[in-house]
Chains A and B, each alone.
Chain A
Amino acid sequence: MNYGPLLFLAAFFALASSWCGFVLAPQLQVGRLQQTNTLSGGATYPVARSGLAQQGLQVYRANGCAACHSQQVRQSGTVCDVMLTEAGTNELAVISALLRLKCGSPLTETERQAVSTGAGERAPPVMVFTEQDARGMLTRLPQRVRQGLTKPEADAAVKELTAAGAKAQTWIVPVGPDIARGWGRRRTVAEDFLFDYPVMPGEQRVGPDLANVGVRLPDPNWHLRHLYAPGTYEKASTMPPYRFLFEKRKVRQEPSPDALVLPPELAPEPGYEIVPKPAAIALAAYLTSLRADAPLYVAPLTVAPPAAPATNAPVASGATNAAPGAPAAK
């Protein structure tokens, strides 16, 4: 051991540098993360999950859901759309501006990808577009008249339309494979997990991403039925049934209001009912609380004005509880 001190120092610096990279730098970056405001409306974000949903997070953890489900949406790029909201009074000027800008049919997702990553040839902006089409376009406002532009291009187009007396806006649209699958509207960022402990972003996608499952499937009763019998509700699902979160019991006087409404092949024999245990109810509350689609400074996107119904509209639970063709459990 002629080089003892040298070896010690080498080992020390190797470990210290990786500690700095993996522990210290992330701590400095997001260690003191605070609640922030959303871009539209400036609401506080994120808000803590309800107590039931926080219990559900521990159920999610205990059952290893994160082994097969991720909670992170990837985003490969951001493009801009030009949204024409009002034609104004000078229709001819707007139509000529639309023709000049070669506005036209929407881009497909692959074309969007090509634009956002800068890979390959830029999607040709010339669409089948005549004055007739422009007039038709003006009858269906608000409408995206150009899609998949870069920010400066979109701003220039908006300027030109505004000069013609119309009202137009640049829309910020995140794109990416996960967004194309409908798993989210923007990438997930550290803020989305601010109140979760532990954070379980997951690393495998045996099942679908759950970052926005509360938006896609807002009905807790659906989640309960799906936990009981996944294959019945998603044909290709490889998810194991979590029946130990449920209890089969005899109906005493009245059937329980929590009892699952199951299709006939799964329903228990008459006089019995399947009731979720508290853990299952908490897990369903946690799953329906999962949404990460608020527009933030760090992950901007344009959300439709409130005139269009938002996706978080509560679904009438009584109406959706009934499985198709299933008689109510007795």
Chain B
Amino acid sequence: MSPEASEPAPTTPERAEPKAGPRAVPVFLLILLLGIVYGGMIYFDRASGWFDPQVYAPYHSASELALYQPPTGGLDLSRGKTVYDNICALCHNTDGTGKPNQAPPFVGSDWVLGSPNRMIRIPLVGLAGSVMVKDQQWNLAMPAMGAALSDDDLAAVLSYIRQSWGNKASVITPEQVKAVRAEIGNRTQPWSAQELEAIH
């Protein structure tokens, strides 16, 4: 209440005590507030990264960050190489050239470059007896690797063998390995070359 209001006014009767009543917020203020909230939400959506700890500016979201990951150079054979170097390279040599009286070569071998179905079978239960590789007679026993290697590892290492050292054959997927594994069931007897040659 202002002090003037308490002074007697000669011409008008005494006014009633002013009271605070409800008063509507001006419409322009509401619109302004809504506009600010709207802009804030847009800014939040663009700049927050939804609080993902992996998302730093200038990226806006986890999906944008995933988009900008550098390509691995087409096919990633690193997993297959790891498996190969750990297991296969002991006998077949790190460059796939084989070792005399231990294991035949992979480079340019029809067994490697031929049907995937045939190739997948060999590491699963092994191969024994005489086999012709690159016009050379081998008579050795390849041990079974099916129990030791997962479908993913087998697919990776077989793809690595089919794509390395100048070999250019199709990639083998884990699904193919899984299918062949199911097909041969619980066989533990190693293959003979004749059996495999019947498979295409």
Partners in one complex: yes
Task: Show the binding face of A for B, using Cβ within 8 Å.
Answer: 25, 29-30, 33, 39-40, 75-78, 80, 116, 151, 169-172, 176, 187, 189-190, 295, 297-302
Say yes or no: B68 contacts A297, CB within 8 Å.
Answer: no
- Given known A25-B51, A29-B51, A298-B65, contact A187–B70 (CB-CB < 8 A): no
Closest Cβ of chain A to B198, distance in Å, is: 37
Closest Cβ of chain A to B33, distance in Å, is: 19
Give CA–CA (A75, B65) in the complex, Å. Answer: 14
Say yes or no: B70 contacts A39, CB within 8 Å.
Answer: yes
Say yes or no: A297 contacts B54, CB within 8 Å.
Answer: yes
Say yes or no: B58 contacts A77, CB within 8 Å.
Answer: yes
User: In the complex, what residues of B have CB within 8 A of residue A78's CB?
Assistant: 58-59, 68
Say yes or no: A151 contacts B67, CB within 8 Å.
Answer: yes
Of all chain B residues, the one with the shortest Cβ separation from A302 is: B70
Say yes or no: A172 contacts B68, CB within 8 Å.
Answer: yes
Q: Kindly state whether residue B2 has any CB partner on chain A within 8 Å.
A: no
Closest Cβ of chain B to A152, distance in Å, is: 8
Give CA–CA (A80, B67) in the complex, Å. Answer: 11
- Given known A78-B58, A78-B59, contact A29–B53 (CB-CB < 8 A): yes
User: In the complex, what residues of A have CB within 8 A of residue B71's CB?
Assistant: 169-170
Say yes or no: A172 contacts B56, CB within 8 Å.
Answer: no
User: In the complex, what residues of B have CB within 8 A of residue A170's CB?
Assistant: 70-71
Say yes or no: A76 contacts B58, CB within 8 Å.
Answer: yes
Say yes or no: A171 contacts B56, CB within 8 Å.
Answer: no
Closest Cβ of chain A to B66, distance in Å, is: 9
User: In the complex, what residues of B have CB within 8 A of residue A171's CB?
Assistant: 70
Closest Cβ of chain A to B174, distance in Å, is: 21
- The residue that A39 contacts in the complex, of B53, B57, B58, B69, with Cβ under 8 A, is B69
Give CA–CA (A169, B51) in the complex, Å. Answer: 32
Closest Cβ of chain B to A22, distance in Å, is: 14
User: In the complex, what residues of A have CB within 8 A of residue B59's CB?
Assistant: 78
Of all chain A residues, the one with the shortest Cβ separation from B66 is: A297
Say yes or no: A300 contacts B69, CB within 8 Å.
Answer: yes
Closest Cβ of chain A to B82, distance in Å, is: 11
- Given known A151-B68, A169-B73, A172-B70, contact A299–B56 (CB-CB < 8 A): yes
Of all chain B residues, the one with the shortest Cβ separation from A162 is: B74
Q: Could you write out 10 A-B pairs with CB less than 8 Å apart?
A: A75-B57, A78-B68, A170-B70, A170-B71, A171-B70, A172-B69, A187-B58, A189-B56, A297-B69, A300-B69
Say yes or no: A187 contacts B56, CB within 8 Å.
Answer: yes
User: In the complex, what residues of B have CB within 8 A of residue A169's CB?
Assistant: 71, 73
- The residue that B54 contacts in the complex, of A75, A116, A298, with Cβ under 8 A, is A298
| 0 or 1 for each of B108-135: is its CB under 8 Å from A? (1 = yes) | 0000000000000000000000000000
Closest Cβ of chain A to B160, distance in Å, is: 17
User: In the complex, what residues of A have CB within 8 A of residue B70's CB?
Assistant: 39-40, 170-172, 295, 300-302
Give CA–CA (A30, B54) in the complex, Å. Answer: 9
Of all chain B residues, the one with the shortest Cβ separation from A295 is: B70
Give CA–CA (A116, B70) in the complex, Å. Answer: 17
Give CA–CA (A301, B58) in the complex, Å. Answer: 13
Give CA–CA (A40, B67) in the complex, Å. Answer: 17
User: In the complex, what residues of A have CB within 8 A of residue B53's CB?
Assistant: 29-30, 33, 190
Give CA–CA (A189, B59) in the complex, Å. Answer: 12
Give CA–CA (A6, B23) in the complex, Å. Answer: 23
Of all chain B residues, the one with the shortest Cβ separation from A117 is: B58
Say yes or no: A75 contacts B69, CB within 8 Å.
Answer: no
User: In the complex, what residues of B have CB within 8 A of residue A80's CB?
Assistant: 68
Give CA–CA (A176, B65) in the complex, Å. Answer: 17
Closest Cβ of chain A to B54, distance in Å, is: 5
- Beyond A297-B65, A300-B69, A301-B70, 15 additional pairs, beta carbon < 8 A: A77-B58, A78-B59, A116-B58, A169-B71, A169-B73, A171-B70, A172-B68, A176-B58, A187-B56, A187-B58, A189-B56, A297-B69, A298-B56, A300-B68, A300-B70
Give CA–CA (A76, B59) in the complex, Å. Answer: 9
Give CA–CA (A170, B54) in the complex, Å. Answer: 22
Say yes or no: B51 contacts A75, CB within 8 Å.
Answer: no
Give CA–CA (A29, B51) in the complex, Å. Answer: 7
User: In the complex, what residues of B have CB within 8 A of residue A187's CB?
Assistant: 56-58
Interface centre among B53, B55, B65, B73 (most CB of A within 10 A): B53
User: In the complex, what residues of A have CB within 8 A of residue B69's CB?
Assistant: 39, 172, 297, 300
Of all chain B residues, the one with the shortest Cβ separation from A42 is: B78
